[in-house]
Structure 1
Amino acid sequence: MTAARGYSVVLPQGWARVPLRAGTREALDREVFRRVDRLPAQVPRDQGMAYRAHVRRTVERMVRDARRAGGLDLYVPVRAARPLPASFVVAEIPHGLDAEPEAALARYAAGYRPGPGEGTPGELRSVGDGLAVRWEYVGRAADGEDAAGPGAGTGAPASRRVEYVLPVPEDPGRWLAVSHATPGDGDLGSPYTQALTDLFDAVMTTFRWTY
């Protein structure tokens, strides 16, 4: 079998992909900013301008943060009527475990993970044609950070986060992390917040490697 060259996911209606390695500005203008320019006519002009400025600041900050974390793609909801407070990033991550993928996944699932939530137990899940480790935990947002996306309020104090880590098939040493964050409605245990988490898990059931 040859090594995977990429991946694909099926997005919910109203979501957009922003590539982070090339074509970022074009994708932002076409897929995100142009959509929020088409707000309903009943929205007051000053309110619409403030909303557009907020979306630009938020998404551009998310792009910078995702790039620093090795991001490949950023996914955000851009439905203007009622944007969802959620987002997820696909990133290439350094893999420091000297083990075959199956053994490394088992060690990850036992609790090892870099970054926020270290020590949180993981679980093995089937993703694409292989296995991944999934974590779910509460993460604290940095000062001024919108951890979830265009629909989130500024400075969200915490978010529910879900992360999948999986090896790239037939390409030793290359791993991906797919990370989702949402503050939900401010209650991290509410049905609404849970529904946004479930939506991301549903997207991950569509994950496929491309060759």
Structure 2
Amino acid sequence: MQAERNGPTPEAAGLVDAVDPPVTGYRLLLPAEWVQVPLRRGTEEAVRQILDEAFTRIPADAPMDRIGPYKRELERRFRASVEGAQKGKALDLYLPVKPLGDFNIGASILVTESLVPRPSGRPRGASEPTETAVQLLSSDGVEDADLSSGEIDGALAVRREHVAGAAPERGAELPSRRVEYILSVPGDPDRWFVAAFSTVGGGDPRDELAEVLVEWFDAVMANFRWRRA
């Protein structure tokens, strides 16, 4: 699947099937503060470019004995985020790497695709879309989530929102607010597109900043569009 955002279209890994008309990718409109890291092709080039640009924002008067450790820690954390996303076989990771005003936003968007296994003997696409969405959502054991459904660009969309607790063993030092949109790929009822947003807000996943960012992500997904051949 190819991703497109404000500016030239960067390539990502492929979701291309013989459908009429075929879906060849997706489009997310994101502000300039956000960057895309493709996770299947071109990852190292994107990571290096993002890090190089981040290093140029280090104040010129910063103590020399602190610049080296700061760069190493920044690179370690950034690469750990990318590698963690790659382990989940995701397509793209989006991060706000440029400060917004006087602070950095603690948030991310992870894009994946899922092919739901069919029970033996059941024809392809025989499951009801809502039934399949429930199967996807119940696979990770999340409880006490807010669920809703609707349609985005002609596709069934299911939205789930919940708060995930801190998990230091997985690098999540703080609890986070999470919103996932799961869309049925047009022309391929067994394949699903997932956009998962996560934010720590201002340190509390239920604070005002988290609320604003969730509303922002809902607006991003309201403008989501498929790319077609």
- TM-score interval for Structure 1 and Structure 2 normalised by the shorter chain: 0.7 to 0.9
Larger radius of gyration: 2
Corresponding residue for residue 52 of structure 1: 71
Corresponding residue for residue 148 of structure 2: 123
The structural deviation recorded for 1:144 is 4.5
Indicate which of 135, 139, 143 corresponds to 2:160: 135
Q: Does 1:16 find its partner at 2:41?
A: no
Indicate which of 44, 52, 74 corresponds to 1:34: 52
Corresponding residue for residue 213 of structure 2: 196
8 A contact 1:20–1:72 mirrored in 2: yes
Q: Distance in 2 between matches of 1:166 and 1:33?
A: 32
Query: Which 5+ residue runs of structure 1 have no aligned equivalent?
Result: 148-154
Query: Which 5+ residue runs of structure 2 have no aligned equivalent?
Result: 1-19
RMSD over equivalenced CA pairs, Å: 2.7
Higher relative contact order (CA 8 A, sep 6+): 1
**TM-score w.r.t. length of structure 2:** 0.76
8 A contact 1:109–1:122 mirrored in 2: no
8 A contact 1:97–1:104 mirrored in 2: no
Q: How many residues align?
A: 202
The structural deviation recorded for 1:137 is 0.3
The structural deviation recorded for 1:94 is 3.3
Indicate which of 95, 104, 115 corresponds to 2:116: 95
**TM-score w.r.t. length of structure 1:** 0.82
- The letter of the residue matching 2:105 is L
Q: Distance in 1 between matches of 2:153 and 2:140?
A: 25
1:86-117 per-residue CA deviation (whole Å, 9 max, x = no partner) reads 00100012314668598223563699432251
Corresponding residue for residue 193 of structure 2: 176
Q: Distance in 1 between matches of 2:85 and 2:59?
A: 33
The structural deviation recorded for 1:59 is 2.1
1:25-66 per-residue CA deviation (whole Å, 9 max, x = no partner) reads 001112x20221122536624555444333322221222221
Indicate which of 170, 183, 201 corresponds to 1:166: 183
1:101-144 per-residue CA deviation (whole Å, 9 max, x = no partner) reads 98223563699432251573521133233221000001124325
8 A contact 1:110–1:121 mirrored in 2: no
Corresponding residue for residue 104 of structure 1: 129
